[in-house]
Copies of this chain bind each other. A is one copy, B any other.
Amino acid sequence: MAETVQVQHDEIAERIKRLQQLMTQAGVHASLITQHVDLYYFTGSMQAGYAFIPAEGTAVFYVRRSMERAVQESAVQVRALNSLRQFRAQLEHDHPAVFGGGTSSAQGVIIATEMDVLPASTYAKLAEVLAGSRRDCSLVDGSTLVRRVRMVKSSWEIGRIEAAAQVVAEALEAAVGIIKEGLTELELMARIEYEIRIRGHIGLMRTRSYNMEITTGMLGSGAAAAVPSAFDGPAGGLGLGPAFPQSTSRKAIGRGEPILIDIGCCIDGYIIDQTRTAVIGSLPDDLAEAYAQAEHIIRQSEVLMRPGTSSESIYAAALKQAADAGLADHFMGYGTNQVKFLGHGIGLEVDEWPVLAKGFGDPLEAGITLAVEPKFTFPGRGVVGIENSYLITDTGCRPLTRSPEGLIVIP
């Protein structure tokens, strides 16, 4: 009826194997995957249910609905989840090695789940169901295991992100032509969203963090872009009112003010994230200089990004460069509203691992995909900056973003 892109079954097997290795290291006997995005990652299907992945043995996707679609899509075995009350008995029957004496520790069976996204009441219900009458099973947080596996992308996943990069580049090129004095931020954003949507954007950008929302990014001009917000990013934006207090507003775009176009899209589930800065006419000298500094920081980050370099050292280098340029107070937000990172992983969600931030001391690995977004905020005047997405390769990094760099100047 319509062609769809499906993940290969051997790739799913590889993902499960990597999770199983982490589970074994962590002393966890099985993972119960509950979130729709994680279900898609580990089964190839986003139907409703739970995937049970033992540290050793065969994964099973217990499906509530739709069974027929799960059977078509899933790379792992599919069984009907008939009753939550019977779920423990069903698991005991299907996974005797987990629930039998074999692997269970003195503390009983330890099952990991995504406590970073699973609502507390559902967690409590599942923990009760899994504990069973013998109370010999505990449900612990396995979100770091899942995020760790998902952090390193396959060549198939990288291809999906590249497809998204191509779509957003085409959309930006198609939309930039309408920018003129008096056009509102909302009118420009609506056009960009139309251009990505007809090219296959799924219609939303998935986030993992509680309360975090992204429409198609953050498009803001002049003072409106520089308004602080609850959004955990370097530029929040005025938004459409207290009920959506971030990103695009109804402000008209003026001459000589920076237009921050931080946009992404989601193709076949995978997200790209990029930022370009535009201006009608020309920027004031100090903002033009800050924009040039943002490009310098991204050049420096490109040199540093390679397997073995820690995420936090790249952030530290950017902080130093901003300070050396006399722009410390403006970097990644202004003053007390600064955010404490330079970039973030991208993939099925926009807020993946790693984060280029203090505390992320682990070395980068080949296969990581991340967005690097140096930006400078000038309250009352605007935000300038650039954002590219990259793949960490065996020897360095490779840009995934397709849009040309440089300030976009509209006459």
B186–A229 contact, CB under 8 A?
no
A36-B211, A119-B115 known; A228-B198 Cβ under 8 A: no
A224 contacts across to B, CB distance below 8 A: 1-2
Q: CB within 8 A of A198: which of B46, B122, B190, B200?
A: B190
- Which of A65-73, A94-102, A295-303 lies at the interface with chain B? A65-73
| Interface residue total, chain A, C-beta cutoff 8 A | 80
Shortest distance from the beta carbon of A333 to any chain B beta carbon, whole Å:
10
Roughly how many angstroms separate A115 CA and B243 CA in the complex, as a whole number? 22
- Which of A244-252, A283-291, A358-366, A385-393 lies at the interface with chain B? A244-252
Q: CB within 8 A of A250: which of B2, B47, B117, B243?
A: B2
Instruction: Specify the chain B residue showing the minimal Cβ separation from A187.
Output: B198
Roughly how many angstroms separate A116 CA and B120 CA in the complex, as a whole number? 6
A68–B193 contact, CB under 8 A?
no
Question: How does the 8 Å CB contact mask read for A257-291 relative to B, with 1 for contact and 0 for none?
Answer: 00000000010111000000000000000000000
A241-B6, A241-B268 known; A215-B204 Cβ under 8 A: yes
> Is residue A11 within 8 Å, beta carbon to beta carbon, of the partner chain?
no
For chain A residues 360-405, which have a beta carbon within 8 Å of chain B? Answer: none
Shortest distance from the beta carbon of A147 to any chain B beta carbon, whole Å:
12
> Is residue A310 within 8 Å, beta carbon to beta carbon, of the partner chain?
no
> Is residue A337 within 8 Å, beta carbon to beta carbon, of the partner chain?
yes
Please name 4 further chain A to chain B contacts, defined as beta carbons within 8 Å, in addition to the given A35-B210, A65-B337, A244-B269, sorted by A numbering.
Answer: A1-B224, A36-B230, A45-B245, A69-B245
Offer 8 A-B interface pairs, CB within 8 angstroms, sorted by A.
Answer: A1-B224, A4-B240, A44-B242, A46-B242, A116-B119, A120-B120, A193-B197, A240-B268
Q: Which 10 A-B pairs have the closest CB atoms?
A: A243-B269, A203-B215, A4-B241, A120-B123, A48-B230, A202-B244, A66-B228, A115-B121, A190-B197, A115-B120
